[in-house]
Structure formats: structure tokens, C-alpha cells
């Protein structure tokens, strides 16, 4: 599959995840015929124009979603970098019109990290919930969930994977230290001794590694996280989409895919490390995942407290967003209150669709397992 065809395929999935209707995404894609930086019909330029149009109509979160797709999959050229800045500034305008969402900035390793947060209170510290996405997900994609998470009683912080968006740190084997570092930074404004991690996709690997070392982490929830086989299986690596490999090259600083592949084993988690994760782990898998190999399930089985839910879908289960998010939030609340039956909202943009109207929920082929 060529580069532009891969961009189109993955953009449709990510557009759905950000609340952009398929017909709307198809209309934008129909105006794109290249990925040459600055060309009027190029990927980043056309998506940026669509974002500008949404912003002009006052649809700020819709504009954020379009800008996020303009910089997809990473800040690889000037137009994408400009779109990335528009995501941040447009979301900042939106959040300033509401109460309770604040911005955090802190240094980490060779870069800096920016986050959006709610519920931070030194006088009455709440349990901490940290949310981070994968290698192509900017924090603004998840930040509209903050009002819901605040209502659920959390001090919630939404950040980004190393190298993504405003996180300028390099992705390396010890990047998991970002999570304890963030907890240290928030110790005076949140109850970090009761920290939950909603670390999605590649961030899930960071979350599991951090949970093996830091007892303040009390639960980990993730979706399609690589664990070991993705980083070490030579038969799987040639099947990994080019966009994924190229994005990882950029985030890790490796010059090409060959150099990246030689370094990836250093990122893999071991069975011994996973056995040290003594807290509940809730994992959403996708039966047709084109990025994460099914063999990861074998390694995950050594976790002492694992529950999984599998959707008949591709990576990230974009066709099951509503069901996936309701399950994750339900598992989060039940883990905090064992034996309880929390009331979980099932409608509204804060719950199942960060941007605009959530997609309709239809019956799906799923299964839930636990050892």
C-alpha cells in the first residue's frame, strides 16, 4: 500500500474516533491527491482548511479534530507543525470558555511535556487519573473527556506520548519514567498514592512498565498496547503498517526502519516485569488488529489481575468506541469501589465522542475474559 493510501485508510479510522462523520471525512479526503507540503491539494493543507472552516463557524472542538488529522501522523513538515499548533490554540480557546480545565507544563528528560488537567486541589486532593494516547494521538483528542472525569471524582490529567504533540521528549526504553515524574509533580494537588492510568495503545506499554515499579499506581486500563511480541517478533515486523514504522522512527530519533528494528527489543516488557504488576489491569484487544500481534495475549496472561475485552475490529476498535469507553470507565470505577455498581453515563459527547455527537452503538461481537 502506498503512503497516501495508508494515510486515507488510517485517517478514516481516526476521524471516526474523533467524532467526524464518515461522509464528512470522505468529502475532505476527496479534495486530497498528494502529500507534498504546501500543495493546495495536499493532505495537511486540505485538512487545515477544513479545520479553519469549522473554527470560523464557532465549532472549536470540530476544528481541533480536523487540525489533528492535518498533522497526522506526526509533525513531519511545516504545514503539519502549524496544524499541531492550531490544535493546541483552538482547544485553549475552547477550554477558556469553560471552568476548571488548566494547563500544566514541566520538563522531562530531553524535552518538555504539556498537559490539560481538571480537579487539582491542594486542600482536598482527589485520586489521580492520568490519560495518554498512542503514537499519533494528541492530548486534545482526549481532553474533552476531562469534565466527565472531574464529575466522577478524579483529579484528571491528559498528556501525550513522548515525541507526540507538545511532548518533545524522545521515545526511549525508559520513557515510562514520565508517569512517576508526573505523579511527583502533582503530589501536592492530587492523591497520587491512588493513581489510575488510562494509557492507550503504545502508552499502555509505558503504563504497565511504570506499574511494575511504582506502588502509587493502583490500576492500569489500556487499549491495544504492545507488550513484547511487537518489539521482538521478526515475522510480525514486516506486516506493521508503514505509517506506524515511520512514526516510530521519528519519535525514537532513528534514521530508518532498519535502525529502528535493531533498537526495538530494548522496549519489550519481560514476563518477570509483568508479574510485578500486582494491580488490576484491564485490556481492550481488537481481533483484527493490524498493528499489535495476537501473541501479546500470551505474555499478558502472566499478569496477576487481568481482565480483557475483545472486539471484532481493527487497532483501537474504532467501530466500537462507545462500548469500549463505557467498559473502560466501568472497570475504572469498579476497581476503585470493589463490588459496587456505578452508574455509567451512556450518552453525550463527554462520554463516548470527544468531538461532537457520539457514533450510534450497535450490537457487536465481543468477548470478555479473565484468568
CA atoms within 13 A on the CB side of 42: 15
CATH of domain 101-335: 3.40.50.1820
Residue 273: other Cβ atoms inside 10 A: 17
Say if residues 369 and 75 touch (Cβ distance below 8 Å). Answer: no
Decide if 25 contacts 40 (C-beta within 8 A).
no
| Residue 11 confidence class, pLDDT cut points 50, 70, 90 | confident
CA–CA gap between residue 85 and residue 64 (Å, rounded): 10
Of the CA atoms within 13 Å of residue 216, those in its CB half-sphere come to 18
What percent helix, strand, coil does the chain show, rounded to 5?
45, 15, 40
3-state DSSP assignment of residue 31: coil
pLDDT at 3: 86
- Model pLDDT, residue 320: 87
pLDDT tier at 337 (50, 70, 90 boundaries)? low
The whole-number average pLDDT for the span 156-160 is 97
pLDDT of res. 335? 67
Question: Average pLDDT in the 108-135 region?
Answer: 97
Question: Would you give the distance in Å from CA 319 to the centre of its chain?
Answer: 16
For residue 130, pLDDT over 80 is answered with yes
Tell whether pTM > 0.75.
yes
CA–CA separation, 339 and 199 (whole Å):
24
**Residue 347 pLDDT grade (very low, low, confident, very high; cuts 50, 70, 90):** very low
Res. 346: pLDDT tops 70: no
> How many Å apart are CA 77 and CA 80, to the nearest integer?
5
Is the per-residue pLDDT at 277 higher than 50?
yes
Amino acid at each position: 500500500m502506498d503512503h497516501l493510501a495508508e494515510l486515507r485508510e488510517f485517517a478514516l479510522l481516526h476521524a471516526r474516533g474523533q467524532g467526524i462523520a464518515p461522509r464528512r471525512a470522505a468529502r475532505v479526503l476527496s479534495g486530497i491527491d498528494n502529500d507534498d507540503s504546501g500543495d493546495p491539494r495536499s493532505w495537511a493543507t486540505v485538512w487545515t482548511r477544513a479545520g479553519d472552516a469549522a473554527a470560523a463557524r464557532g465549532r472549536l472542538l470540530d476544528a481541533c479534530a480536523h487540525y489533528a488529522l492535518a498533522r497526522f501522523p506526526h509533525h513531519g513538515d511545516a504545514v503539519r507543525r502549524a496544524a499541531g499548533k492550531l490544535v493546541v490554540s483552538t482547544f485553549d480557546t475552547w477550554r477558556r470558555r469553560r471552568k476548571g480545565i488548566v494547563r500544566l507544563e514541566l520538563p522531562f528528560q530531553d524535552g518538555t511535556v504539556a498537559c490539560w488537567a481538571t480537579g487539582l486541589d491542594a486542600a482536598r486532593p482527589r485520586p489521580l487519573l492520568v490519560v495518554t494516547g498512542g503514537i499519533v494521538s494528541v492530548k486534545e483528542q482526549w481532553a474533552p473527556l476531562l469534565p466527565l472525569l472531574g464529575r466522577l471524582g478524579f483529579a484528571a490529567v491528559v498528556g501525550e506520548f513522548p515525541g507526540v504533540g507538545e511532548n518533545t521528549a524522545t521515545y526511549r526504553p525508559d520513557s515510562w519514567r514520565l508517569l512517576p515524574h508526573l505523579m511527583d509533580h502533582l503530589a501536592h494537588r492530587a492523591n497520587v498514592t491512588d493513581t489510575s492510568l488510562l494509557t492507550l495503545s503504545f502508552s499502555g506499554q509505558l503504563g504497565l512498565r511504570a506499574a511494575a515499579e511504582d506502588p502509587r499506581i493502583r490500576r492500569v486500563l489500556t487499549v491495544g498496547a504492545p507488550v513484547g511480541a511487537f518489539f521482538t517478533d521478526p515475522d510480525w515486523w514486516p506486516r506493521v503498517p508503514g505509517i506506524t514504522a515511520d512514526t516510530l522512527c521519528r519519535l525514537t530519533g532513528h534514521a530508518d526502519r532498519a535502525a529502528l528494528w535493531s533498537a526495538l527489543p530494548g522496549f519489550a516488557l519481560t514476563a518477570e516485569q509483568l508479574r510485578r504488576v500486582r494491580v488490576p489491569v484491564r485490556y481492550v484487544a481488537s481481533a483484527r488488529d493490524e498493528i499489535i500481534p495476537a501473541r501479546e495475549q500470551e505474555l499478558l496472561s502472566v499478569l496477576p489481575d487481568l481482565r480483557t475485552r475483545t472486539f471484532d475490529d481493527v487497532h483501537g476498535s474504532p467501530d466500537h468506541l462507545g462500548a469500549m469507553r463505557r467498559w473502560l470507565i466501568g472497570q475504572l470505577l469498579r476497581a476503585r469501589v470493589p463490588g459496587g455498581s456505578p452508574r455509567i453515563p451512556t450518552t453525550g459527547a463527554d462520554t463516548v465522542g470527544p468531538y461532537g455527537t457520539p457514533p450510534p452503538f450497535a450490537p457487536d461481537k465481543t468477548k470478555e475474559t479473565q484468568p
